Structure 1
Amino acid sequence: MRAAVVTRFGDPEVFELTELPDPVPGPGQVAIDVSHAAVGLIDVYVRQGLYRDRPGLPQPPYVPGLEVAGTIRALGAGVTDLRVGEPVVTLSGTGADGGYASIAVVDAAMTASLAGTGVDPALAVAAVPNAATAYLALTEVAHLGPGERVLVHGAVGGLASAFPGVARTLGAAGVVGTVRRASLAGARATALPYDEIVAAEDLVGWVGDRRFDVVVDPVGGQLRTDSLRVMAPMGRMLLVGNASGDWEHTVPSNALWGGNLAVLGFAAGYYLPAHPEQARPAAAGALRAIAEGLVDIPVQSLPLAEAAEAHRRIALGGVGGRLLLTP
């Protein structure tokens, strides 16, 4: 199979396109002929070596990629609920490697069928994993209730843009998004089911007396602390990323007990392996939001040989959707 291999930790030039032996699925696994592989910011961080000492994450040489779409190539022992040739998409509990290749082997439990959904594979891998993450974060962690109000930072980002649609299907009364600067609140933002979009720097002044029950923060930095000022009593803040790159920022803990607030972290890549039974219900929730037209994610595709360029674009920001590799 063809694969884009990270040969060492470092800059994007560490990628090498190479031929590797075709992998074979083990018990409870499936092999997938990959049509599209998603590129995410976590892929960039792992390649840079930011998590080099974290157990369970790959060491070079390795093939990155958490999420793929394609068709089932082979079934491992014990897999009876999928069939060869079936169109599928995988979720983020597959590990941190293996997707940037023409064949990927993943756990069957993290694989959702696209048969009969009408969702094409590019949209599936662009939208389903993030929408499933949003579904799990909002239902299992934030416990979003009908009639509650939601604030989503980085509103047009790949992960964040899945939250408003899923929140709507769960009964949210209102969803507001923030963007880094006002010029980003254009056609992309208005295509998503937000009530309003506001520049992050204007948030505190703009919000007035309004308060939010759930804040979704994939950005971090000072915006994280500013958000505490616009949360309702018993509000929950979901930490789902750190796109600001500010790894030193801390939240003032006294503001939490004083405001009856909670700050909750969520990473699907760690949650789903411990709760594999949640993967397919989350995928079903994601597909429901997509079918209702509530998850609109622009897709850009590059050939597998341009994995380094894909990482450069992700690191620079401003992709405004999902970036895919096509083997």
Structure 2
Amino acid sequence: MHAIRLHAFGPAANLRYEKTDDPVPGPGQVTIAVGAAGVHLLDTAIREGMQGPLPELPELPTIPGREVAGTVTALGEGVAGEWLGKRVVAHLGFAPGGYAELAVADADRLHEIPGRLDYAEAVAMIGTGRTAMGIAQFAEPTPEDVVVIPAAAGGIGTLLTQYAKHAGAVVVGLAGGPEKVRKVRENGADLAVDYKEEGWPETVREFLRGLPASASGEGRAATIVFDGVGGEAGRDAVDLLGPGGHHVVFGWSGQGLHDGAPLRFPEEYLAERDITSQEVLGPVMMRKAGGASPIRTLELKALSEARAGRLVPAVQRYPLSEAATAHRDLESRATTGKVVLEP
């Protein structure tokens, strides 16, 4: 088979498209003919040699990638025969191997793909969709809410926008540049704003003043900010929150992909404003989701929302052979939606 292999940690150019041996499923595993492989921000950190949340870096050479969708072509010992030929999607866990024409996955990680999704969309839902559902559980939108979403054109932002709209909330989506703003508007946001334009917060405030009045008779304030950006844009978004508002932090891409820190506020500031600010990174999401397998709990919810048509992921596709380009584009924030490789 062909695969992307990494022989030395370093820049994206170290990702090589080459021939290698086909993988063989062990007991409890299946082989998947890969139709799409997810590219995650963590993949770029691992490629550079940053351990991050992994127990240890993979041995080299390695085939990166931990999210795949495709068709089951072979079964390992002990796997139910009904899986053969099924369209499936799976998160591989800490085991790499996704950037390839064939991948091995544990059978207990498989999900059958709902009929309406293609392989790339399925990968997006068990990756980006899972994360979006993990974030939303900390401030479930209602028809009474005004939700502000920085980076609303991204993969997570797209799904949070759709999720909040289906819940009946008013959604303000922020994005950088006219093309991304257009995508946010098309995705259903009530207001799409370019946060690179000077004075954008006042544009949002004017929009909020025009909404049906609250009990105070002064329009409405934002009630939830889903913040994966941080930096100046995130701080300006928090300034839009009214008393009782929620600031849900799940990233800080505005400060650089591999550095920076979540946007934090002094307790005195939060108390004075009567708002809450909570960081909901991976372990916190998992504890909140609960269940025997929290990751699977969130994956199932994401796939269920997609099956019902309430969530439609944004996907940016690259040929498998162009994995290095996909990494560079992701690191430079030149992508929109979930990045996937297609053999």
TM bin (shorter chain): 0.7 to 0.9
Give the direction of change, closer, same or farther, for the CA distance of 1:70–1:248 in structure 2 (3 Å limit): closer
SS of 2:253's equivalent in the other structure is coil
Larger mean Cα displacement after TM superposition, 220-229 or 264-273? 264-273
Larger mean Cα displacement after TM superposition, 308-317 or 274-283? 274-283
Give the direction of change, closer, same or farther, for the CA distance of 1:278–1:147 in structure 2 (3 Å limit): farther
The CA deviation at 1:280 is: 4.8
Larger mean Cα displacement after TM superposition, 68-77 or 151-160? 68-77
Is this contact kept in 2: 1:37–1:99, CA < 8 A?
yes
2:61 match: 61
1:252 match: 265
Task: Extract structure 1 runs of 4+ deviating beyond 6 A.
Answer: none
2:101 match: 102
SS of 1:97's equivalent in the other structure is coil
Larger mean Cα displacement after TM superposition, 303-312 or 71-80? 71-80
Distance 1:314 1:17 in 2: 18
2:186 match: 191
Whether 2:265 is the aligned partner of 1:267: answer no
Is this contact kept in 1: 2:241–2:275, CA < 8 A?
no
2:111 match: 112
Distance 1:276 1:110 in 2: 13
SS of 2:135's equivalent in the other structure is helix
Distance 1:308 1:94 in 2: 22
Distance 2:81 2:278 in 1: 38
Please tell me the residue identity of whatever aligns with 1:262. S
1:314 match: 330
Please tell me the residue identity of whatever aligns with 1:102. E
Give the direction of change, closer, same or farther, for the CA distance of 1:270–1:244 in structure 2 (3 Å limit): same
Please tell me the residue identity of whatever aligns with 2:264. V
Distance 2:61 2:252 in 1: 26
Please tell me the residue identity of whatever aligns with 1:196. L
Equivalent pairs counted in the alignment come to: 322
The CA deviation at 1:46 is: 2.4
1:150 match: 147
1:137 match: 135
The CA deviation at 1:189 is: 1.9
Distance 1:127 1:312 in 2: 23
What's the TM-score, normalizing by structure 2? 0.79
| Alpha-carbon RMSD | 3.3
- % same residue: 30
Distance 1:168 1:111 in 2: 30
1:161 match: 158
Is this contact kept in 1: 2:162–2:310, CA < 8 A?
yes
Give the direction of change, closer, same or farther, for the CA distance of 1:275–1:284 in structure 2 (3 Å limit): closer
Is this contact kept in 2: 1:149–1:172, CA < 8 A?
no
1:237 match: 247
Larger-Rg structure: 2
SS of 1:68's equivalent in the other structure is strand
Please tell me the residue identity of whatever aligns with 2:30. V
2:238 match: 228
1:175 match: 171
Give the direction of change, closer, same or farther, for the CA distance of 1:280–1:248 in structure 2 (3 Å limit): closer
Larger mean Cα displacement after TM superposition, 244-253 or 193-202? 244-253
SS of 1:185's equivalent in the other structure is helix
1:126 match: 124
Is this contact kept in 1: 2:134–2:285, CA < 8 A?
no
Gaps of 5+ in 1: none
Is this contact kept in 2: 1:216–1:237, CA < 8 A?
yes
SS of 2:134's equivalent in the other structure is helix
Distance 2:119 2:165 in 1: 24
The CA deviation at 1:261 is: 0.8
Distance 2:107 2:244 in 1: 38
What's the TM-score, normalizing by structure 1? 0.83
Is this contact kept in 2: 1:5–1:63, CA < 8 A?
yes
The CA deviation at 1:103 is: 1.9
The CA deviation at 1:177 is: 0.8
Larger mean Cα displacement after TM superposition, 230-239 or 193-202? 230-239
Distance 2:89 2:96 in 1: 15
Is this contact kept in 2: 1:110–1:279, CA < 8 A?
no
